[in-house]
Structure 1
Amino acid sequence: MKRDNLLNVISVLKEKKVIVELTKKQSINVCVIGVGTTGSYIVHDIRGLDCVSKLIIIDPDSVELDNLYRQDYTKIDLYKKKVDVLQERGGKCQIIGLDEMCTDDKELVRICEKYKIDVLIQAGDYPSTRQLSFMTQKAANKLRIPYITNSGYISNVVSLPEFYYPNNEYNFSYKHKIYNEKKIFINVKEKVSSRIVANVGHVIARQLLDYCTNKIPFKYKERGFFDVNKLEWSTDHIE
């Protein structure tokens, strides 16, 4: 078959969704669910990426006193809606804040379809981080888009963001147990600081850049936590 004819066939198959293009995106639209302790730092890092053209952020909460300095908010942001604060800060991409709570995967699918989302990121904890991760997985599978989950933190121990492709054997549900509980609880000391949690945003920014340049996403098929003593990620590879 001639090259031009082959390209035409591939184009038709993609249009009919027989072939789903999972990689090599020059520009992507991203949705972040939750902009609290981890989500605010995720937004901080990815809003400046050249490969992100639109960033949708979802969160119903306002900035409270106990959010200051641990999350990416300061005194001038007090009592304002978190999505409004981050939208006003702006970035290289268009930022759209949605002051609402996602309670099921159907609502997530509706939002993603409306804004043509290419990557879905879970960074919230309602009704729980685990339940929201499953909800994100379900919505991403329906939409056939990659997704990133964040299991949050226990005290000052922050978990590694995990990148998944849709409808893949390796997914959030695959062998997902709490990572080496003994190691985690040995490291628990105090409430997480901005210095530690900011590393989550760095990882996700790298994962998105890798995805957009057709590389294996950073720390793909690894699970673990940020070791505050060594100041590095302590992870295991998942087979």
Structure 2
Amino acid sequence: MTYPGRQATPATHAVRAARDFLLAHPHDYDAAVAGFRWPHPESFNFALEWFDVVAAEHPDRPAVTIAEPGHEAASWTYGELSQRSDQVASWLRDLGVRPGDLMVVMLNNTIDLWEILLGLLKVGAVAIPTSTLLSETDLAWRIDTVSAGWAIAPTALAERFALVRPETTVIGVGHDVPHRLDRLVGAPCRLRHVRAGRGDPRRGDLAAVLHLRDHRSPQARSSYAGELPDRASLHDVLVGRAPW
């Protein structure tokens, strides 16, 4: 596939040099300890300055492979995930996610997880990985403790958010769209159905429908929002100069 990717930055070169030094001394512990120096870039964004750089160099190289019992393994390339996470980052920005925002990420081991994590990094937001086994009480405590403004979880776990503070916007990921999500989460909501991407079944639930709870809405409403915008994020998204 054709993917322009992003160019390496001085931070990329510094991190890569440290990595390459260790790879060059796999069996010489003393030499590795004596010669290794931690890189100290002023800033470093893994998604923009590492993942996307690798995607530019090796767009067709497998980046993530997910294998589940009883199912055929599915793989996604660096190029695919880089472009897809650009779209997710753009969509998150459109929702209002900004650098420094906190998002509780309570997803299963599906491709959705990786697309969201990379997208959050590109926006400059902070992901708080959370087990899908948390109870209603534990989940509410975690969100309250850090004052997370955002959360994302499978729609099947909507009832877990019954005790979550209304200031937190919850994004649901899944094929199923509850008729009355407000009754499940215990607060008035607005449903926004967002068709995400090409609908490739390998992409998991994120390629189907996402909907979010908005505590400011007086009643449950539905609106079709179309496909995620096919826009590429820029390296300077972290300083707020990206076009979306």
TM > 0.5: no
Give the TM-score, by structure 2 length.
0.35
Give the TM-score, by structure 1 length.
0.36
Larger Rg: 2
Instruction: Give the structure, 1 or 2, with the largest relative contact order (CA under 8 Å, sep 6 or more).
Output: 1
